[in-house]
Amino acid sequence: MASCFFCGASGPESLIDLNFKKKGLHFNSDDVCTIKMIFKINWSDTDNLNYSMEQAELVR
């Protein structure tokens, strides 16, 4: 918990915005999977996170 972005010492670089092509996927917090995606860095939009995974697809 000490490294949690919301209640600890971590910053916004510890989070990533994940956008799947297919909607309605559900995961448990401890699921391990492989994802194919386009990785983007947000350089200027202060209303969004620093990193995003766009057009993500579950490979498993």
Which residue would you say has higher pLDDT here, 3 or 44? 44
pLDDT tens-digit readout, 5-54: 667 777 778 888 999 999 999 999 889 999 999 999 999 998 888 999 99
pLDDT at 3: 64
CA distance 54 to 41: 11
Tell how strand 35-41 and strand 51-58 pair up: antiparallel
Does 40 reside within a domain? yes
Structure tokens at 54: 């766009």
In a domain? residue 51: yes
pTM: 0.68
Domain assignment of residue 49, yes or no: yes
Q: How many domains does the chain have?
A: 1
Q: Give the domain range for residue 26.
A: 13-58
Residues 6 or more apart whose Cβ sits within 8 Å of residue 56:
18, 19, 20, 21, 35, 36, 37
- Look at residue 2 in the predicted model and tell me its pLDDT: 59
pLDDT at 56: 95
Residue 4 in domain: no
